Structure 1
């Protein structure tokens, strides 16, 4: 046989090489796509696991989703937390409330939690509106070095059939953070727990009562109410501590007026210091029935009137007239509420 003159047909071999090449490429792309889909799915599950529940109105926690969505705002929250701590530490309470604050801070820190190895206490903070109940709780959380979250009872009532899943998601989210202490603040708790109008609220109340009973998820649950009357026995029986924050007395009110005057007026215009110093005591006595929030709004009003005044009136006279006019307006509001 003449091997030198033999001719081979190479075209089938070339075709098989092309099929093998494209088949390998397709398989590789499929594997890459599968890996990416699995990786994306795992990433989304991780984000959803730590995503802040929608029922939370305010929290000191910054989620992974927040960092990925807008890292600038997420980092800014850290600075806002420091500023909030400074402002909360300037709050003025009675000696009794300050002693209760020290007690709660001492049992809420991470070190105390690890040492005690016991369930957290459930606390009810009550009193007339505008006197710093929620600020009192935020102060406990921030100075204990723990995170806090705020939910609102009225907001919960509006969720209807979504209420129970959202409450379960909330407690699951808190339980995932069980390695560190946590403060859960429930605003308008009396309006929510005293409401038995539909099955969704009743079922959600049962979930809360179970969590209050078996508070083993390392959190301090605080119920905020106007008074200490929650008529749901399942909730009331599991409250361990009560804190009554009343309208401040004259001594605390004097400190508040000085604090707000320094913050809103004297830090900008020091020339009014002498006039203000001469009437602080009179204003503290005249505003005996006003809340802390009312006093802050009053001082803000002074600032506006002083800066806009073009008359020959003495600043002291402007402030006193504003003060007594505001007191009369508050009395009219109270009368309307009573009627």
Structure 2
């Protein structure tokens, strides 16, 4: 019992010795090691050495100390990991700060570069403005110098004119004074000469009157006494009067016939029929043309580039018109509508030539200014159209300016009468003339006019394929192989298929007429150089100028 109780007391004293009196708090050693506890443990160990359970107590203490050492090592490892985490966070934060600093430096450099660029641009603008100001000042000085020179030249010319005037006045005054002095000296001689000439003239006139009266009286007396002479004189005067009247009548009839056959009405702007001046200027060629000698039919769409479906439609119209003329059947009337410059007038001319018809062109804007005379001129036009041996294709350009609806309040009474006369002359089918109208606004036509139209054909702006063909045709016509043998050919440099395709894209919305004008502009630009050369830069610069215009 004593032994057990003593052992128990020793164990308690050892436990108390091992416990630290002041356990470490959060502010103690980093490793958790307490040297005071070690000293107490050493004291307790000395006390235990004297007991019989000293070895067991030592082993227990060693075991507890090893456990604490392991716990301390785990805490050190945890603290090392925490320190490494802090160092990693610090490195990451430093990297973020460095990246922000670099971004700030980059933005600063960009702003600095932009500011320098703005300063440079402003300097360039100021320099250009200064140069412009200097040029304007120089030009102003040159203009002032020219004005001063012109003023000096004008004053010099005025002074010279004044000197010449004074000299001429002095010369004329001297000559007049000389003539006056001479006439004063010869006054008496001149009066005697005038009196003598007047007396001789009076005697001559009186003698002539006496002789003439005597001869006239004798001749009249002899004529009145001869009955046969009186009868012959009356017959002669009657014959002359009849001849003059017949000649005047025949000349009037012949003139109206020639005017109807060879004349041209005032409304016709252009025609393929022979006029009087053409007939007398080249009678042989005119006679061959009137008789149809050497006249050959040609393709109605020659030189005209159109969309495929429109090309097919117009070829059918051309074939139908040609067969209608050959069979002497009534013609069908056409309306060609679409934007200007798309080939309507060109097709009308070639349709007439293809069909063997004459053609005449008039514009609707020419009828309104005629006023009351418009009805008379229209009747003359259709009378003239019926005299054509070959038949006539009458092409009315800008027809909407004349054939507007009669319900329109702005149409005048004269225009209304002219429209009624036109409708009267076109009201029935005819094998003598064919009407072809062209308009940009067919919706304005009068209903009666639309009733007389048998077929409508729409001409649209050319697409990329048509523009490509037109550009090739006009380049060949105006640049590479001009029709006139005296026209100089143009040499192209660095202009190939790629450049042509670029032109096709840039000319979107161009009409055929606009593209032909563009080719003529290329020709003019080439003729403005030595050697008639058209390079790539001038090629596209001309297009840009054309688009701006």
- Give TM class, smaller chain: 0.7 to 0.9
Instruction: Report the TM-score when normalising by structure 2.
Output: 0.51
Once the two structures are TM-superposed, the CA of residue 201 in structure 1 deviates from its matched residue by 1.1
> Which protein is bigger by CA-based radius of gyration?
2
Instruction: Report the TM-score when normalising by structure 1.
Output: 0.79
Query: What's the counterpart of residue 315 of structure 1?
Result: 535
Give, in whole Å, the separation in 1 of the partners of 2:264 and 2:383: 11
Equivalent of 1:15 in 226, 249, 271: 226
Cα 1:76–1:32 shift into 2, 3 Å: closer
Aligned length: 310
Once the two structures are TM-superposed, the CA of residue 102 in structure 1 deviates from its matched residue by 1.9
Give, in whole Å, the separation in 1 of the partners of 2:269 and 2:347: 17
For residue 184 of structure 1, give the secondary structure of its aligned residue in structure 2.
strand
Query: What's the counterpart of residue 159 of structure 1?
Result: 370
Give, in whole Å, the separation in 2 of the partners of 1:190 and 1:74: 40
Query: What's the counterpart of residue 93 of structure 1?
Result: 306
Give, in whole Å, the separation in 1 of the partners of 2:278 and 2:339: 38
Query: What's the counterpart of residue 248 of structure 1?
Result: 462
For residue 536 of structure 2, give the secondary structure of its aligned residue in structure 1.
helix
Matched, 1:136 2:347: yes
**Aligned pairs for 1:1-339 within 5 A:** 15-50=226-261, 51-63=263-275, 65-67=276-278, 70-72=280-282, 75=285, 89-109=302-322, 112-115=324-327, 117=329, 119-177=330-388, 180-194=390-404, 196=408, 197-267=411-481, 268-272=488-492, 275=495, 279-309=499-529, 315-327=535-547, 329=548
Contact in 1 for aligned 2:300/2:318 (Cα 8 Å): no
Once the two structures are TM-superposed, the CA of residue 221 in structure 1 deviates from its matched residue by 0.8
Give, in whole Å, the separation in 2 of the partners of 1:301 and 1:274: 18
Give, in whole Å, the separation in 2 of the partners of 1:58 and 1:288: 32
Cα 1:103–1:88 shift into 2, 3 Å: closer
Give, in whole Å, the separation in 1 of the partners of 2:241 and 2:534: 82
Once the two structures are TM-superposed, the CA of residue 100 in structure 1 deviates from its matched residue by 2.2
Give, in whole Å, the separation in 1 of the partners of 2:374 and 2:426: 18
Once the two structures are TM-superposed, the CA of residue 261 in structure 1 deviates from its matched residue by 1.4
For residue 255 of structure 2, give the secondary structure of its aligned residue in structure 1.
helix
Give, in whole Å, the separation in 1 of the partners of 2:434 and 2:236: 57
Once the two structures are TM-superposed, the CA of residue 40 in structure 1 deviates from its matched residue by 1.2
Write the deviation string for residues 6-33 of structure 1: whole angstroms up to 9, x where unpaired.
xxxxx99x93444454445444433433
Cα 1:87–1:194 shift into 2, 3 Å: closer
Once the two structures are TM-superposed, the CA of residue 280 in structure 1 deviates from its matched residue by 1.9
Once the two structures are TM-superposed, the CA of residue 73 in structure 1 deviates from its matched residue by 9.4
Once the two structures are TM-superposed, the CA of residue 132 in structure 1 deviates from its matched residue by 1.0
Once the two structures are TM-superposed, the CA of residue 36 in structure 1 deviates from its matched residue by 2.1
Give, in whole Å, the separation in 1 of the partners of 2:241 and 2:270: 44
Write the deviation string for residues 158-180 of structure 1: whole angstroms up to 9, x where unpaired.
11111111112212222333x53
Greater RCO, CA 8 A, separation 6+: 1
Once the two structures are TM-superposed, the CA of residue 37 in structure 1 deviates from its matched residue by 2.0
Cα 1:23–1:206 shift into 2, 3 Å: closer
Once the two structures are TM-superposed, the CA of residue 49 in structure 1 deviates from its matched residue by 2.8
Cα 1:244–1:87 shift into 2, 3 Å: closer
* Higher mean C-alpha deviation, range 264-273 or range 163-172: 264-273
Contact in 1 for aligned 2:269/2:360 (Cα 8 Å): yes
Contact in 1 for aligned 2:300/2:347 (Cα 8 Å): no
For residue 130 of structure 1, give the secondary structure of its aligned residue in structure 2.
coil
Contact in 2 for aligned 1:67/1:74 (Cα 8 Å): no
Cα 1:277–1:240 shift into 2, 3 Å: same
Give, in whole Å, the separation in 2 of the partners of 1:288 and 1:234: 37
Once the two structures are TM-superposed, the CA of residue 227 in structure 1 deviates from its matched residue by 3.4
Give, in whole Å, the separation in 2 of the partners of 1:260 and 1:245: 20
For residue 360 of structure 2, give the secondary structure of its aligned residue in structure 1.
strand
Write the deviation string for residues 62-88 of structure 1: whole angstroms up to 9, x where unpaired.
13x3346x424995896xx98xx7997
Give, in whole Å, the separation in 1 of the partners of 2:301 and 2:316: 17
Give, in whole Å, the separation in 2 of the partners of 1:44 and 1:310: 56
Cα 1:161–1:182 shift into 2, 3 Å: same
Cα 1:238–1:35 shift into 2, 3 Å: closer
